[in-house]
Amino acid sequence: NKRTKIKVLLSGEQIGQEVTVMGWVRTFRNNQFIALNDGSTNNNIQVVAELGLLGEADLKRITTGASLKVTGEVVASLGKGQAVEVKATAIEILGDSDAEKYPLQPKKHSLEFLREKAHLRFRTNTFGAVFRIRHSLAFAVHQFFNDRGFVYLHTPIITSSDAEGAGEMFRVTTLPLENPPTQEDGSIDFSEDFFGKSTNLTVSGQLEGELGAMAFSEIYTFGPTFRAENSNTTRHLAEFWMIEPEMAFHDIEDNMNLAEAFIQHLIRYAMEHNAEDLAFLDQRLAEEEKSKPQAERSELGLLEKLRFVVENKFERITYTDAINILLESPAYKKKKFKYEVSWGIDLQSEHERYLVEKHFKKPVIVTGYPAAIKAFYMRMNDDGKTVAAMDILAPGIGEIVGGSQREERLEILEKRMSDMHIPAEEMSWYLDTRRFGTVPHAGFGLGFERMVQFVTGMGNIRDVIPFARTPKNCEF
Ligand code: ATP
Ligand code: MG
Ligand code: MG
Ligand code: MG
C-alpha cells in the first residue's frame, strides 16, 4: 500500500513525484476539481481530473461522500490557499455516495444536527479537529506521567465497592429481570448473581488506585468511568473517561502543584502538536461569539485563553474565601444565583463559573471544603470541620478536577466511615493500607472530556466524546 496521507502531501515535499491518495470527496467543481479528505487534516487535497480522464458515467459518481483512490503527479498549485495539488492520471471510485441521501452537505451544519448524525460527524471539519486534539491529549496524558515515573495501573471496570456512589451507579447483573431470586425480606438476593454479590460499573478508580500507590509510590489510572447522571447538563455524561493519579508521600500542596502542572502540560502539548486544528476552532468560536450580544461575549479568544492559562499561575483560595466572595458579589446582591449561598453548601456550577469567569478571570483551585459535603476518605483538617480537598475550576466549565489528601490515620478514617454508615467490614481490603505501613498520600481525578472541552472551546460535553451516552441516548 503506497498510499500517501493528505497531511504529508500538503507539506509540499513530494512535488514532481507520483503518489496514490485515498479519501472521501468533500466537493466537486466544474467536472474537474475534487476536494478530497482522508481525516489526517482538515485541509483537503485538490485533485485535478483533466477533461476526458473520466467518462460521463463516472463523472456523475463523484459526489460528496464518495470514496476515491487517486493516482497522479504532485504539482505546485496555481490556485490560492494551498501549495500543491494532484494532477490525476487515474481515478478509481471505491464507494458511491447517493448525493440526495447523504446527510452531510457541503455547508455548515449546526452542532445539534450533527449530534443526530453522530455516526457521520467525524467527516466534518469541526469534529475532525476536536477528535484529533482529543487523541493528542490522551497521548500527552501518558507522556506526562511516564516522564515522571508513574506506573499506569488499570483499575477494574466492574467493582463491588460503592463507596463514592450516591445512587449514581449502573448495576451489573446476570440475574433474570423477571422473578429474580429474593431474600426473606423481599429484596433481591445477589448471592446467586455471577459474582455472588451486588456489583456495578466503576464510578472512580481511586480506592483501587490507592492500593497501587501504597506499593509503587506513584500510579495513575486512565479509563472509562460510569455515572447514571439523571440530569441533562453540558458537562455530564453517563460514560466518560477519567485520569486519576494517586501519590504516596504527597500532601495537598504537592497535589495541587502536580494537577496544575499536568493541566498546563496538556494544553502546551496540544498547542504544539495541533496548531492547525486549534486555529480552526479558534476561528469557529470567534464567529460564534460574534452572533452573541456584546455583554455575553468572552474577552479572550480560544488561543489567547490557552496561552494565558499556561503562562499564569492558577488562583488558590479556600472554600470559606469562595463563599465570602460569592456573598459579596453583585450577582448575589441582585439575586442572580438560582441556588442559595451559605457556608456548607456544595458549590453549584453557577457559583464555580462566577468565581472563574467574573471574579478571578483565570482557573481557580479551591481548598478546604466542609467535611459534610465530601467523601469519607478525605483527610480531616485540624479544625475538625473541613477536609484537605481541592477542586480546580476552569472558565466555561466549572469543576474539571476533584482531589484531596487522603485520610491516612486508621482511627480517624474508621470513625468517619461509621459516622457516614459505610460498612467497614466490606472495605477491609482498603483499610489494610492504613493498617500496614500507612503514609500520607494524595490524588485527584481529572475528567478527560472536560479537559477536551476546555482545550477545544466546545460548549457541550456531547461534542468532545466520539460516542456520547446521556439519558435516553444510546443509539449505537
Ligand atoms: P460534578 O460536580 O460536576 O458533578 P463531581 O464532583 O461529581 O463533578 P468527582 O466525583 O469529583 O465529580 O469526579 C472527578 C472529576 O470527574 C470531576 O472533576 C469531573 O471533571 C469529572 N466528572 C465527574 N462526573 C462526570 C460526568 N458525569 N461526566 C463527565 N465528567 C465527569
Ligand atoms: Mg457529580
Ligand atoms: Mg462537584
Ligand atoms: Mg468533585
Number of domains in the chain: 2
**Length of the chain counted residue by residue:** 476
Residue 164: its pLDDT value, please? Answer: 62
Query: Do residue 346 and residue 434 come from a single domain?
Result: yes
Structural domain contains residue 150: yes
- pLDDT of 165 strictly over 60: no
The CATH number covering residue 10 comes to 2.40.50.140
Query: Do residue 148 and residue 67 come from a single domain?
Result: no
Instruction: Tell which one of 240, 241, 373, 400 to mutate to probe ligand 1, the residue whose CB is within 8 A of the most ligand atoms.
Output: 240
Cα 202 to averaged position of ligand 1 atoms, centre (Å): 13
Using the 3D structure, point to which of 72, 107, 142 is the last residue of a domain: 107
Residue among 255, 260, 263 at smallest CA distance from 405: 255
* In 236-381, beta strands by DSSP E: 239-248, 315-318, 364-370
Instruction: Tell which one of 206, 235, 369 to mutate to probe ligand 1, the residue whose CB is within 8 A of the most ligand atoms.
Output: 235
For the chain, how big is the Rg over CA atoms in Å? 27
Structural domain contains residue 317: yes
Structural domain contains residue 39: yes
Query: Do residue 291 and residue 420 come from a single domain?
Result: yes
Query: Do residue 254 and residue 361 come from a single domain?
Result: yes
How far is Cα 252 from Cα 230, in angstroms, rounded to an integer?
Answer: 32
Residues with CB under 6 A from ligand 1: 227, 229, 235-237, 240, 242, 399-402, 445-447, 449-450
Within 10 angstroms of residue 237's Cβ, the number of other Cβ atoms is: 22
Reading the block at residue 412, the C-alpha cell is 480517624
Structural domain contains residue 247: yes
Cα–chain center distance at 232: 17
In sequence order, which residues have a C-beta less than 8 Å from that of residue 46 and are 6 or more positions away? 33, 34, 35, 36, 77, 79, 82, 85, 86
Query: Do residue 293 and residue 426 come from a single domain?
Result: yes
Residue 299: its pLDDT value, please? Answer: 83
Structural domain contains residue 319: yes
Query: Do residue 32 and residue 144 come from a single domain?
Result: no
The helix/strand/coil state of 295 is helix
| Residue 234's pLDDT band (cuts 50, 70, 90) | very high
Helix axes 252-273, 125-147, angle to 10 degrees: 130
The CATH number covering residue 379 comes to 3.30.930.10
Residue 231: its pLDDT value, please? Answer: 86
Give the atom of ligand 1 at the shortest distance from the alpha carbon of 244.
14
Structural domain contains residue 402: yes
Query: Do residue 21 and residue 102 come from a single domain?
Result: yes
Cα 393 to averaged position of ligand 3 atoms, centre (Å): 10
Interface confidence (ipTM) of the complex = 0.99
How far is Cα 432 from Cα 441, in angstroms, rounded to an integer?
Answer: 15
Task: Provide the greatest CA pair distance for the chain.
Answer: 85
- pLDDT tens-place string over residues 291-332: 888 888 888 999 999 999 999 999 999 999 999 999 999 999
Query: Do residue 134 and residue 57 come from a single domain?
Result: no
Structural domain contains residue 210: no
- pLDDT tens-place string over residues 16-51: 999 999 999 999 999 999 999 999 999 999 999 998
Residue among 467, 448, 455 at smallest CA distance from 133: 455
Cα 297 to averaged position of ligand 1 atoms, centre (Å): 26
Cα 399 to averaged position of ligand 3 atoms, centre (Å): 6
pTM given for the model: 0.96
Query: Do residue 26 and residue 148 come from a single domain?
Result: no
Query: Do residue 276 and residue 337 come from a single domain?
Result: yes
Query: Do residue 258 and residue 336 come from a single domain?
Result: yes
Residue numbers of the domain that contains 23: 6-107
Structural domain contains residue 172: no
Residue among 454, 334, 465 at smallest CA distance from 394: 454
Query: Do residue 151 and residue 66 come from a single domain?
Result: no
How far is Cα 364 from Cα 128, in angstroms, rounded to an integer?
Answer: 31
Residue 161: its pLDDT value, please? Answer: 79
